[in-house]
Structure 1
Amino acid sequence: MNEKDYYAILGVEKDATSDQVRKAFQQKARKLHPDVNKEPDAEERFKEVSEAYAVLSDESKRRRYDAMRSGSPFGGYGAPAGEAQGDPFTGGSPFGWGFPFGAAGYGRRRATRARSYNPRAGADITFNLTLDDETARKGGSRGVTFQRFVVCDVCSGKGSVESAHAETCPTCGGRGRIQVDLTGVFGFGALDVECPECEGSGKVVADPCENCGGSGRVLSASEVVVEIPAGSHDGDVVRVKGMGNAGTNGSSSGDFVCRLGVPSEQLSPRQAFGFQVLGFDAPFIVFGAIAGVIPSMLLYVVALLLLGAFMVVRGGPVGRNARWWRNALTTFLGGAANGALLALVMVSMFSCGSSMGRRALYRSGFVGL
């Protein structure tokens, strides 16, 4: 059993949250790093603190560690208790197995992170704008108010108030990774994990701006005027350069992407389903007619035909304009592509079955006499 008390090493309680564990490690790591602390045992204490963090910041390892200390051989494999494991700064995995910037690049609150220096371009912001027929035909301007990350006005986007340049991370020495020896814990050996201080970049902001937390940007309400071109249609895109999310630590901003919607050109969900069914039915009719087996599939073909027509009519006004019919044709062709293979297989089966039946009747003497 591991005799080390990792909670005591980090100075946290046994029910400490992942955020409290992360903060405790940062404080101790900065004080004990060999480049900063010249005491003889500083390096050994730094490794010990890193080892404690590597175990307590990972939910599964922490449960196994707690189970081993309590003497239960199975306690570490139960359902997790307490809050879900999160990355020290962004909610992902502290070992670099997650996605520290979110699905869209900057979906998480970066202002709460530590002083890692990670210049990343800002993500685009997509906004759906519904237009009436007149505005779509003649064009015009629309003002849109939305929330986005903007450049911090205190540090001018650098993330650092006074220093013009980032510094080498004191925790990992610029590698972006730290070595943690867990040989005596669970037999894992040495782990190469992402440095929680710099988030793997190897650099940190010298004096983090209190307004943005060192990211160089803050969340704010913004306004943009979208110029709608004359003759716009449903699905068209208007892009406003530089009005998306600001990048971190002075990086470039994304764009504001406005997707136009014109209700009179859109199929309702029922109509879209109806045209898909009609398209799905079309290959059965065509292949069945060619093979001469329509009578064998008549019930199936007619049922799909009636269902599709019913959904189209019940879905709202039909045939509003040319664009509506264009969208209907696109949906119909998509349904036909989905049904083509199945129709070919079924028609072949009916055709083969019909041929075998005729041969059997011929051999029995009922046909050809």
Structure 2
Amino acid sequence: MASMNDKDYYAILGVEKDASTEEIRKAFQTKARKLHPDVNKAPDAEERFKEVSEAYAVLSDPDKRKRYDAMRSGNPFAAAGGAGGSSPQGGYGYDPFGGSPFGWGPFGSGFGGAASRRRSRAYNPKAGADVIYELTVDAKTAAEGTRRGVTYQRYAPCGVCHGSGSVEADHPETCPTCGGAGHITVDTGLFGVMMMTCPECEGTGKVVADPCHACGGTGRTLSASEVVIDVPAGSHDGDEVRKPGMGNAGTNGSSAGDFVCRVCVPEERLTRRQAGGFNLVGFAVPFAVLGALTSTLASMSLIIVIPLVVGIYMVVRDGVRASGRWWRNAGVAVANGASNGLMLALFMVMMFSCTSGLGRAGYMGYRYW
């Protein structure tokens, strides 16, 4: 069997050496459909299918493709830190593809990123995500309530295929590349038999029969939408108004997310500095209580006074608010700081109890007279 150095993967896929990743992907899909053993009964179809799959596995990954090009040029270590370097990888038996030629790359979990944004025949119904929108109003408006119109961008159901991803067919069809398995196996020879996620159906085993030209088979397109939000009277900072089904549309006819409007009232919200200041104030409280109970306030003065002074300064610097919700948020921040201070205070009590229990014997077990 020919080694990787002897194989011209570009020629196998029928693409130029400067072909883009999308061109390589399309070339693989075209050849894979023609050479799949379930479709092509020629004696050499299976072998050619494996060869095409191997070529795609390498050229579709930028890092592996770079190393392959370097290896073909006669310098297999150029892509791994320079020729003639002292790297421990620079020797016989070094794998220029960093393990297997498939790795994660465009397969497996890799389809969560760029692949989901490109045109694909994969039939992969997934619920749409919520759209989060922050509406900033003053305290008076929040108390009285208001109605606002909002224009925003979201993935909406495709108007051509009505969200299915297919123009005419009512149901998806079995993937012709993997036969519905969701993966294909490749005998690379050098690395043995490898299994990789099918790049055509992206692991689902199904593809859209006739992909819509407007949405590329996903069933949704990016568009501008409008919604009217009614903020009820008596709202406060952090309250939410939800519009069901007005978020991002799902793929291939799946359910849509919601439009979530979060009310933001600056008068009721602590600044980051104020939240930190109230945390410091709360941190000092357990030590003050502990000092009072054990008559050790004097020895704990630093750990009490410094957080209190710094915390109060941080709070006052950004201005104290008269809002009841602001003070409620302040109380939450103090409680959070107090919980942290309490843990440290209890730890100090335990340490003091343990060391006191040693008595006159001291830490090393020696008795002094």
Q: TM-score, normalised by structure 1?
A: 0.84
Deviation at 1:32, TM superposition (A): 2.3
Q: 1:279 aligns with which of 269, 275, 282?
A: 282
1:341 paired with 2:343, answer yes
Counterpart position of 1:85? none
Q: 1:298 to 1:198 in 2, by over 3 A?
A: same
Deviation at 1:139, TM superposition (A): 1.6
Amino acid of the residue matched to residue 31 of structure 2?
K
Counterpart position of 1:127? 133
Amino acid of the residue matched to residue 331 of structure 1?
A
Counterpart position of 2:252? 249
* DSSP-derived class of the 2:275 partner: helix
* DSSP-derived class of the 2:17 partner: coil
Amino acid of the residue matched to residue 273 of structure 2?
R
Provide the aligned length of Structure 1 versus Structure 2. 341
Does the 8 Å contact 2:268/2:323 carry over to 1?
Answer: yes
Distance in 2 between the 1:34 and 1:357 partners? Answer: 84
Q: 1:347 to 1:296 in 2, by over 3 A?
A: farther
Counterpart position of 2:97? none
Counterpart position of 1:94? 106
Counterpart position of 2:121? 115
User: 1:171-211: per-residue Cα shift (whole Å, max 9, x none)?
Assistant: 00111101011232xxx221111100011111111111111
Counterpart position of 2:17? 14
Give 1:1-369 correspondences, 5 Å limit: 1-2=3-4, 3-78=6-81, 93-98=105-110, 100-101=111-112, 110=116, 112-184=118-190, 188-316=191-319, 318-346=320-348
* Superposition CA RMSD, Å: 2.9
Does the 8 Å contact 2:277/2:312 carry over to 1?
Answer: yes
Deviation at 1:78, TM superposition (A): 3.6
Amino acid of the residue matched to residue 212 of structure 2?
C
Deviation at 1:16, TM superposition (A): 3.4
Does the 8 Å contact 1:237/1:259 carry over to 2?
Answer: yes
* DSSP-derived class of the 2:227 partner: strand
Distance in 2 between the 1:10 and 1:109 partners? Answer: 20
Amino acid of the residue matched to residue 151 of structure 1?
P
Deviation at 1:268, TM superposition (A): 1.8
Distance in 2 between the 1:4 and 1:109 partners? Answer: 27
Counterpart position of 1:105? none
Does the 8 Å contact 1:54/1:180 carry over to 2?
Answer: no
User: 1:333-359: per-residue Cα shift (whole Å, max 9, x none)?
Assistant: 011112222233345667888999999
- My pick for the range that moved more, 211-220 or 38-47, is 38-47
Distance in 2 between the 1:132 and 1:260 partners? Answer: 10
- My pick for the range that moved more, 157-166 or 28-37, is 28-37
Amino acid of the residue matched to residue 241 of structure 1?
P
Amino acid of the residue matched to residue 339 of structure 2?
A
Does the 8 Å contact 1:269/1:315 carry over to 2?
Answer: no
Q: 1:117 to 1:352 in 2, by over 3 A?
A: closer
Amino acid of the residue matched to residue 12 of structure 2?
I
**Identity between Structure 1 and Structure 2 (%):** 63
* DSSP-derived class of the 1:141 partner: strand
Deviation at 1:69, TM superposition (A): 3.2
Distance in 1 between the 2:352 and 2:65 partners? Answer: 63
Deviation at 1:117, TM superposition (A): 0.9
